[in-house]
């Protein structure tokens, strides 16, 4: 008896084998679905594992081998030392963004255990994640400055706070005038003149290696100096380095062509070229490294890095830009008022123009903290000396809350001609240089500014008191206590943290 045509294909051996395999796999799948997957959830990837991260590294991610119960992960992830942050998810990937940069000079441990996958609540038996431990670290806190005494005078000096290691980077025959640090910490751009009969109009630009490698190790190699821009045909004035370290801007004046003055751009491995912009005044790179903010007339122009290019934007009310926030969305600017006062303004890319403070003295500088919630500024009070019938300015360091515009004085300073400050990349400390009398008690913040010595430093006939470097911790958990300054055993100017 013949099989019906409907069942003929069952008579073929290959067909029977295929049908049996399908049946076996169906049963196996059904069993797996019934008993569930008993393999443990795991962390497959940690983006910061074993890395040396800095303030520019704003977030990391953990990738899991399966969808996770997000609440169990968020409740059980631990950091040592603590690192507060916010969490976001995308499928099996968790992103963690610290609220503030990780503290420099630390080794961090990330631990995760007792977390479950998303389907664990549907199973009678929970399987916890395989315990995970990740590690990363941050660079040592280091800064550079221009020495002002002894063998360091006029030379660029690098200092490691944790190792207490000081290294002079430039030779004695060069007097350093200003400098900028490359973002990789491996080189420093500086302007200098030779001690043999040169003036400020003979400034040249150089690069010097710091001896720091990609793993943040300080090598014992000698500094290597390279000439970047000479001064035979042009006088070089102010310069700036772009945040990405790829562009240099210099204000130059021709020695042959009268009145030819303006910005020149130096790109990586390319000769300098003139931008043919209006000469303008003070300038600085924008955070995206693609344009420059320059004071022009009664306002600030944002110019692209192209020859004769028109401004991208113009802020007519302000005299200069003091600092940009790290995000690039807001800036601190100065407005010169008609009543001879000065106002510090916060402006952003949404059109906000908010007055933060108005003073009769000077605004010497301002910098955002990394979180862009506070701006630190160097301001001055104008005081009258009745005996001599003269006015003098006395500087102080202040912090302004950007939301409330509340100003808090944090350090009073003696009157002096040259003072700068710089916030560390992790926002933990401020470096500044200030006149420190030799007979002061440096262990007390009140003794930093004795009135008699401050008067002595203001007397034009008395040699100016050398400026000593001060380290000020601003990460105090008690907002009612003023930060206590630490006077460092070094004299110099232009203190700047390495990124």
What tens digit of pLDDT does each residue of 305-347 get? 888 778 888 888 888 899 999 988 999 999 999 998 999 999 9
Rounded mean pLDDT, 178-199: 94
Residue burial 59-68, b: 16+ Cβ < 10 Å; e: rest: ebbbebbeeb
Range of the domain at 385: 319-412
In a domain, 260, yes or no: no
250-285 tens-digit pLDDT = 999 999 888 788 899 999 888 999 988 666 788 999
Query: Do 401 and 441 belong to one domain?
Result: no
Reported as type and span, the H/E element at residue 434 is: strand 429-435
pLDDT level of residue 123 (50, 70, 90 thresholds): low
Rounded mean pLDDT, 204-233: 94
Winning range, highest mean pLDDT, from 161-170, 411-420, 473-482 = 161-170
Residue burial 9-38, b: 16+ Cβ < 10 Å; e: rest: eeeeeeeeeeeeeeeeeeeeeeeeeeeeee
In a domain, 451, yes or no: yes
5-50 tens-digit pLDDT = 555 555 667 666 777 777 777 776 766 665 555 578 899 999 999 9
pLDDT at 455 over 60: no
Residue 417: per-residue pLDDT: 75
Indicate the number of domains in the chain.
4
Residue 496: per-residue pLDDT: 97
Least-confidence region, from 43-47, 169-173, 328-332, 456-460:
456-460
Least-confidence region, from 203-217, 407-421, 467-481:
467-481
In a domain, 178, yes or no: no
Residue 275: per-residue pLDDT: 87
Instruction: Residue 470: name the closest of 412, 425, 415, 427 by CA.
Output: 412
Give 234's contacts (C-beta < 8 A, 6+ positions apart): 252, 253, 254, 255, 264
CA angle 80–84–87, rounded 5-degree value: 115
In a domain, 497, yes or no: yes
Query: Do 467 and 495 belong to one domain?
Result: yes
Instruction: Residue 413: name the closest of 388, 437, 439 by CA.
Output: 437
Rounded mean pLDDT, 165-194: 96
Q: What is the pTM of this model?
A: 0.84
In a domain, 47, yes or no: yes
CATH number of the domain encompassing residue 115 = 2.60.40.1220
Instruction: Tell which of 88, 109, 137 closes a domain.
Output: 137
In a domain, 359, yes or no: yes
| Phi, psi (rounded to 5 degrees) for 32 | -60, -40
Query: Do 435 and 488 belong to one domain?
Result: yes
d(CA 498, CA 105): 12
In a domain, 283, yes or no: no
How far CA 209 is from CA of 164, 226, 274, in Å, comes to: 19, 9, 27
Alpha helices in 374-460 (DSSP H): 451-458
Instruction: Tell which of 371, 392, 412 closes a domain.
Output: 412
Residue 441: per-residue pLDDT: 40
d(CA 93, CA 265): 42
Query: Do 457 and 474 belong to one domain?
Result: yes
In a domain, 285, yes or no: no
Residue 38: per-residue pLDDT: 59
pLDDT at 454 over 90: no
């Amino acid at each position: 008896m013949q099989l019906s045509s409907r069942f003929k294909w069952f008579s073929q051996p290959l067909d029977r084998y295929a049908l049996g395999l399908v049946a076996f796999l169906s049963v196996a799948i059904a069993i797996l679905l019934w008993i569930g997957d008993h393999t443990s959830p795991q962390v497959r990837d940690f983006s910061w594992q074993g890395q040396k991260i800095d303030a520019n590294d704003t977030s990391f991610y953990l990738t899991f081998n399966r969808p996770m119960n997000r609440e169990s992960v968020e409740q059980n992830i631990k950091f040592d030392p603590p690192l507060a942050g916010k969490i976001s998810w995308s499928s099996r990937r968790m992103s963690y963004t610290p609220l503030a940069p990780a503290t420099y000079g630390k080794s961090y441990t990330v631990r995760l255990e007792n977390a479950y996958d998303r389907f664990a609540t549907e199973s009678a038996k929970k399987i916890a994640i395989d315990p995970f431990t990740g590690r990363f670290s941050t660079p040592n806190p280091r800064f550079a400055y221009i020495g002002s005494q002894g063998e360091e005078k006029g030379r660029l000096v690098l200092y490691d706070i944790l190792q207490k290691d000081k290294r002079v980077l430039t030779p004695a025959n060069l007097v350093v005038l200003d400098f900028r640090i490359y973002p990789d910490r491996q080189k420093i751009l500086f302007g200098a003149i030779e001690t043999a009969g040169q003036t400020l109009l003979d400034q040249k630009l150089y690069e010097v290696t710091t001896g720091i490698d990609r793993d943040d190790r300080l090598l014992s190699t000698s500094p290597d100096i390279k000439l970047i821009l000479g001064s035979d045909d042009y006088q070089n004035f102010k310069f700036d380095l772009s945040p990405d370290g790829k562009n240099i801007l210099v204000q130059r004046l021709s020695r042959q062509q009268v009145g030819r003055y303006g910005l020149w751009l130096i790109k990586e491995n390319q000769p300098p070229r003139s931008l043919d912009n209006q000469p303008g005044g003070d300038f600085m790179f924008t955070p995206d490294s693609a344009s420059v903010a320059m004071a022009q007339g009664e306002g600030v122009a944002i110019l692209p890095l192209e020859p004769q290019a028109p401004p991208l934007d113009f802020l007519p009310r302000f005299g200069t830009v003091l600092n940009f926030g790290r995000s690039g969305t807001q800036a601190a600017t100065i407005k010169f008022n008609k009543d001879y006062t000065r106002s510090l303004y916060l402006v952003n890319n949404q059109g906000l123009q908010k007055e933060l403070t108005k003073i009769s003295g000077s605004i010497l500088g301002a910098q955002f903290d990394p979180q862009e919630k506070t701006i630190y500024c160097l301001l001055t009070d104008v005081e009258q000396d009745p005996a001599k019938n003269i006015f003098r300015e006395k500087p102080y360091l202040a912090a302004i809350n950007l939301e409330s515009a509340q100003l808090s004085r944090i350090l009073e300073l003696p009157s002096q001609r040259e003072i700068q400050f710089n916030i560390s990349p992790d926002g933990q400390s401020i470096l500044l240089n200030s006149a420190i009398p030799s007979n002061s008690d440096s262990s007390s913040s009140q003794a930093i500014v004795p009135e008699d010595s401050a008067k002595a430093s203001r007397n034009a006939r008395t040699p100016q008191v050398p400026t000593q470097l001060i380290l000020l911790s601003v990460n105090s958990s008690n907002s009612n206590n003023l930060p206590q300054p630490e006077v460092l055993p070094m004299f110099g100017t232009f203190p700047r943290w390495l990124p």
